[in-house]
Structure 1
């Protein structure tokens, strides 16, 4: 694992931290920011993925952390507190298909820890750090400080039979909204992303190597484009692709009994 070296040159580049940035969408966002000239730090749990990044992208700083381990999270945040950053993206996530598999204790604990508990811990830390650091940031040389939360379009649906994954993503959306309101006086923006299916290796692995059958599935580069546009436009909750945004909006306007019947019969496993 590489260590951060203080930049003593006069050239200033904004710094981004991506939690869950060693693969999939998180890595795509890391590489996009790097191409824009940002300093990039990524956090991941896989030693293999971290080693690959260290080899292929030596200028990216990597941190290993198991987000289900509170002690490791505290140590990570202590290390990250030593650096100045302009943007943090929380892209870590855990998913178990509850329509096929009944949750066991390990899956339940992992999804709750990564999708909600670690997220809240990192978000609280990031907001505190940015509030402290903002006065020392030269606005003429840096982008507006920002926190970006990667949720899911599943979290935009409100019905009682939702999965733990959907409920945790819905909680993420609500938490991001609260932080957005609270950080307005500090001139720190908070954006939440609720995307549909993205063609990542993780999604393919969950679908026997091929996720092309997923409705309105998009490439990681398309998702990156939408996310960067949402950040630039300071969108509170960016829901995409447009087709799925329309569908979920229409479903949410149905009478609750009808919505509950549709989603329970079409989406959920038998109970």
Structure 2
């Protein structure tokens, strides 16, 4: 009988997801690495024998549903995939951009939950990667921030409703992590950390059944403190960020 623990990680072809796949594989897990690029997934799988590719576009429900037959029962389901685009001109709102971000960061999570959550074992774990951007409204983040606020709310609601099924839910709130997504940012990113450091923190947090995993702590606690300000004060501060 194979007692090797198993985990499915979405967005595993780059960034935090890739680092998580390698971290869990090194810890003895059978890792199902989800992504849309077969080339990147194959390169990842070559780095460790415990990693298997799961080629799947999570914004396509039929593709997500079809993947179920490839998967075993899971100890951990880690929904990490996501995207980031900014609204550069709110007056001329980009509805198509907004739809892309909401679909990738929110709707796709729903697809994954319907297909894969039934595979999670009793006493298993579900983790959803949100963002510290969900703590308070930020300039140009109408799409990204809204999607991550929704992801946070979803994870916290699931933590209540899945308690009876003995499935623990963690919501992950990273600060700035050096990934292909953040490489596109055209602004300063304080306390920028590496994907490997992020993966180590997430691994320990899930292992300890943390309800919330947020890092780097100095940065995320600062954002949490700012979120307590009266909104008119934060609005003045945030407005200066774009001036």
The residue correspondences of 1:89-104 to structure 2 (distance < 5 A) are: 89-99=78-88, 104=94
The answer for the alignment partner of 1:253 in structure 2 is 228
Q: 1:145 to 1:173 in 2, by over 3 A?
A: same
The verdict on how the C-alpha distance between 1:251 and 1:99 changes in structure 2, with shifts beyond 3 A counting, is farther
CA shift in 2, pair 1:225/1:188, >3 Å: same
Work out which of the residue numbers 58, 61, 66 in structure 2 matches 1:67.
58
Residues 1:129 and 2:108 aligned together? no
Q: CA deviation at 1:158?
A: 5.0
Q: Match for residue 140 of structure 1?
A: none
Structure 2 residues not aligned, in runs of 5+: none
SS of residue in 2 equivalent to 1:239: strand
TM-score (norm 2): 0.88
**What residue number does 1:219 align with?**
194
Task: Check 1:256–1:161 CA distance in 2 against 1; reply closer, same or farther (3 A cut).
Answer: farther
1:24-103 matches, cutoff 5 A = 24-76=15-67, 78-80=68-70, 82-99=71-88
Q: Which runs of 5+ in 1 are unaligned?
A: 1-9, 135-143
Provide the TM-score with structure 1 as the length reference. 0.80
Query: Shift of residue 49 of structure 1?
Result: 1.0
**Does 2:123 correspond to 1:147?**
no
Residue 239 of structure 2 corresponds to which residue in structure 1?
264
Q: Aligned-pair distance for 1:21?
A: 1.1
Number of aligned residue pairs: 242
Does the CA contact (< 8 Å) of 2:84 and 2:181 recur in 1?
no
Task: Flag the structure with higher strand content.
Answer: 2
Q: Is the 8 A contact 1:156 1:194 kept in 2?
A: no
Shift of 1:207: 4.2
Partner of 2:163: 184
**Matches of 1:111 and 1:26 in 2, distance apart?**
18
Partner of 2:142: 163
Q: How far, CA to CA, are the matches of 2:116 and 2:40 in structure 1?
A: 24
Instruction: Give the direction of change, closer, same or farther, for the CA distance of 1:159–1:60 in structure 2 (3 Å limit).
Output: closer
